[in-house]
Amino acid sequence: MNDDLKPIRREFTRVPAELAEQAARYGSSLIADVAGRRGALNGRIQPLARSMKFAGPALTVEVRPGDNLMIHAALALARPGDVIVVDGGAYLGAALTGFLMVSQARTSQLAAFVIDGAVRDVEETCSSGFPVFAAGTNPNGPTKAIGGKVNWPISVGNVAVNPGDLIIGDADGVVVVPRQKTDEVVAAVQAKLELEQQFLAGLAQGKVNNAWVTNALRAAAMLGADESL
């Protein structure tokens, strides 16, 4: 079988590590804003602890709901810094990962798990500090017998994710940036951050610049051309 057609793809192009490191310094909301307010996963996918945060290239996994065989395959193939991103069909009837898999991921120096499905062993995982983002929790364990795909395009939290895309997560949620757009998005974040810092500096001096609000209201026909707030 042609390697491109095999259910398990071993090789893919990752977003450069230096870009992932730079993106990790920014919040997911800033990344989402400059990416056109697109790419944020459905809000059902949340960190197990609000302090959890990460950034790295996606290693994508598609599983049958309630079965984690392909996640074990992904763990065997993953490289340090990878984020294992799982399309679990938003199924919450059984956990797809627990503390044993988290421990393996930590030992392999992976960046995080992002799972559109349930997980378990919440207290142990939170104590470990390893970032796990999931749609929910369930003490039921998974089956380990049904095939799926590794490193194919998937849909997670209603957003398309391709192998190697940049994934950023923190207390606000998770954002996906297509690998080909990472350079321009990360560069644009710094410019937006500087504008926000200027706005906050003005507030510290008692200055509020809301001229854009008036302009937006005029454009929305909420104010006349000669009116202002």
Kind and range of the H or E run holding 106: helix 99-107
Give the pLDDT confidence score for residue 229 in this predicted structure.
Answer: 81
Gap between the Cα atoms of 191 and 18, Å rounded: 18
Set out the domains of the chain in order of their start, with CATH numbers: 3-180 (3.50.30.40)
Instruction: Work out the widest C-alpha separation in the chain, in whole angstroms.
Output: 69
Gap between the Cα atoms of 114 and 178, Å rounded: 16
Considering the chain, what is the average pLDDT of its residues? Answer: 94
Residue 97 in contact with residue 174, Cβ under 8 Å?
no
Using the predicted structure, report yes or no on whether residue 227 has a pLDDT greater than 80.
Answer: yes
Mean pLDDT of 156-184: 96
Least confident of 21-25, 80-84, 206-210: 206-210
Angle at 40 between CA 38 and CA 41, to 5 degrees: 135
Give the pLDDT confidence score for residue 58 in this predicted structure.
Answer: 98
Q: What backbone phi and psi angles, to 5 degrees, belong to 40?
A: -80, 130
Give the pLDDT confidence score for residue 191 in this predicted structure.
Answer: 83
Burial bucket for residue 218 (CB in 10 Å: 0-12, 13-18, 19+): middle
Q: What is the pLDDT of residues 28-57, one digit of tens each?
A: 999 999 988 889 999 999 999 999 999 999
Give the pLDDT confidence score for residue 3 in this predicted structure.
Answer: 63
Crossing angle of helices 69-77/99-107, nearest 10°? 10
Using the predicted structure, report yes or no on whether residue 128 has a pLDDT greater than 90.
Answer: yes
DSSP bridge partners of 136 = 118
Q: pLDDT confidence of 187, banded at 50, 70, 90?
A: confident
Gap between the Cα atoms of 30 and 157, Å rounded: 19
Q: Which residues contact 33 (CB under 8 A, 6 or more apart)?
A: 192
Give the pLDDT confidence score for residue 20 in this predicted structure.
Answer: 92
Q: What percent of the chain has pLDDT over 70?
A: 99
- Rounded-to-5 percentages of helix, strand, coil across the chain: 35, 25, 40
Question: What count of Cα atoms within 13 Å lies in the side-chain half-sphere of residue 96?
Answer: 35
